[in-house]
Structures are given as structure tokens and as C-alpha cells.
Amino acid sequence: MGTTSVGPGAKVVCLGEALVDLVCEEPVAGLGEASAFVPRVGGSLVNIAVCAARFGARVEMLGGAGDDEWGRWLRDRVRGEGVGTERFVLVPGGGTSHAFVAVSDHGEPAFAFYGDPKRPAAYADADIEPALAGPPGVLVVGSDTLIGEREREVTLGAADLARERGWEVVCDPNLRPNRWASEEEMLATVRELVARATLVKCNHTEAMPLAGREGEREAALGLLERGPRAAAVTLGARGALFAGDGSLTEVPPTPVDHVVDATGAGDCVAGVIAAALAAGCPRERLAPALEVAMEAAAGVVRTWGATEGLPPAERARARLAEALGG
């Protein structure tokens, strides 16, 4: 695979699921207790795209939704966040997927999915080559588009092409075992994508099975043996670990008095990483950007929805530039 050569002002391309989150904005024990839901943009890769754009990156979203009112609603709101949607497909005859979200007293979300958010990724095939044309940038991918055979082919092919062209490939696995036939199939398939990545971002509960290691520190370093050259492993309220070149850096957390809704916190971290890489930050010097990501994620968990708590664009961009020495 080719070496990466991403320069300042590079493009970020996000390939993956897009759906509408229907959020119950009060703590409940389960969906059966919810009395009302508020629509928000959703899907891990959409959340990452919105965050990366907020932090100054030039972002394009590949994937799509159904050609219905919800699909157009979703596309228009993603576009309103400054994300390019020229290749965001509205699939004729398809319905836009939804995730009903119920959040516990401790801020932990539970999801019930309706529809097939991975399916529009199959329609992105013709858009992959032109989206990855031009100077090297940052491709962000996840595991949600690995479940179906056609979507898997598109996703792995995009990662291969990106690497050949000198792009950074950021993999945010976002493991959801209940959407796979077995955990063994999930891990084997996701490891194929991890092997193609230059950087993997995941939480500590994902890092250990993916790396095949016990212990968070061991898993962070073990991920590098799967192919990536760097790994960012989030630890919830304990901050994060950054592994690269065989070394390990501890990134402190940003204290949060009360977690309202943890939805999107990990996506926020991936979005800041993508924005930092697109700004020309060398992969091995990403630890300061991870501190910014911890701050931004703390804002996300203080309010409802996956992107509502992100800082305003001017403040976000100034903070990242400061952290990167700009």
C-alpha cells in the first residue's frame, strides 16, 4: 500500500451510515417508557462528518438515505452543517432508516434500529473514485457498512484505493454485535478493515477483542500489530490512550459533572482526529488533538443528541489550531 502524504487543507471523506435519530430527551429505563421523541441527524459517520466540518475540515459525505421526506430532511441538515452532499444518494423506493434512542439516568443510550442504514453505501460505488481523486486526504470508515456483502465490497475497496493514493484511512469500528450473525464473524470482518487503516479509533471495550489482548494498554499497542500505524482508544471518563511508533501516551479527560446523553461522544473524537489530520498534523503528533477531542466530547455528553453539544465553528477551529501550534 502507498505511503500517506496528507497536507494542510486536505479533504475528509466519510463513507457510512446515515439515519435519523429519534431521541427521547428525558431519562427513561427503556423505550417503552418514552412519551415523545425529537428528530436529530444520526449515524456514526454522519456525526463524524458534522464534527470534522465544525473543526474546520472540508468534508464530503458518501452514502445516503431513502428518497423520502426524512431522507431529504437529513440531507439538508447535513448540508447545513457545511458537509458536502453532492454524492449523498437518495435511493429511489427506499425508506430512510431511524434509530429510536432512550437514555438512562447515567446518560447511557439504548438504540432500536428500523430500516437498513448500510444499504445506500452500495450505491456509493460509482462515487468512490471521483471522491478520492485529487490531493491525498482523509477517508473515514466504520463497520456498519461491512455487514452486507455488497456494502462490504464497497467499503474495503474504498479503503484499498485510498491507501494506494496516499490517503490517511481512519477506522472507527463502532462495534454492534447484535447486528451480526456471530461475534466471531464480526471480529474477523472488522479486522479486515482495521488492517487497511492507518489509524484506528475505538473505545476500550472494542480495543481488547479487536486486538485479541487483555488490558487496555496492551490492547492499544496490540492494535498496531493488526496493521494501523496509530491507535486512539477512549476510556470514557478516564480520558484516552494514544499508541503510535510503539509508544503509549495517556490523554487526560475533561471533567463532566453530569452526563446527560453519551450518544456521539466517540464519533466526536473521531471527527476531531480527522480534522487534525486534514489540517496537516502528522499522525504521530495527534496527542494534543486528542486533548481537544476530550474537551469537545465533554460538551457533547452534557446535552441531548450526538452533535448538539459541539462547540461553535469559530471556537472549535481556533482551539484545534492552538493545540496544533497554528
Query: What are the contacts of 287-291 at 24+ separation with CB within 8 A?
Result: 287/242, 287/249, 287/251, 288/323, 288/324, 289/320, 289/323, 289/324, 290/232, 290/240, 290/242, 290/251, 291/251, 291/252, 291/323
Strands 38-42 and 19-23: antiparallel
What is the C-alpha to C-alpha distance for residues 49 and 65, in angstroms, rounded to an integer?
A: 15
DSSP per residue, 34-96: ----EEEEE-HHHHHHHHHHHTT-EEEEEEEEESSHHHHHHHHHHHHTTEE-TTEEEETTPPP
What is the C-alpha to C-alpha distance for residues 275 and 227, in angstroms, rounded to an integer?
A: 22
| Rounded (5°) CA angle 266-15-17 | 65
What is the C-alpha to C-alpha distance for residues 100 and 91, in angstroms, rounded to an integer?
A: 22
What is the C-alpha to C-alpha distance for residues 228 and 195, in angstroms, rounded to an integer?
A: 6
| Rounded (5°) CA angle 178-40-100 | 35
In the three-class reduction of DSSP (H, G, I as helix; E, B as strand; rest coil), residue 110 is classed as: strand
Q: Is 220 left (phi over 0), alpha (psi -120 to 50) or beta?
A: alpha
pTM of this prediction? 0.95
Provide the residue count of the chain: 326
Give, for 248, the enclosing helix (H) or strand (E). Answer: strand 247-251
Sketch out the chain's domains with CATH numbers: 11-17+43-91+117-323 (3.40.1190.20)
pLDDT of the chain, 326 residues: tens digit per residue: 545 657 678 999 999 989 999 999 999 998 889 999 999 999 999 999 999 999 999 999 998 899 999 999 999 999 999 999 999 989 888 889 999 999 999 999 999 998 876 566 666 777 899 999 999 999 999 998 998 888 999 999 999 999 999 999 999 999 999 889 999 999 999 999 999 999 999 999 999 999 999 999 999 999 999 999 999 999 999 999 999 988 999 999 999 999 999 999 999 999 999 999 999 999 988 999 999 999 999 999 999 999 999 999 999 999 999 999 96
Query: Please, where are the H alpha helices in 142-286?
Result: 149-164, 183-196, 204-211, 216-224, 265-278
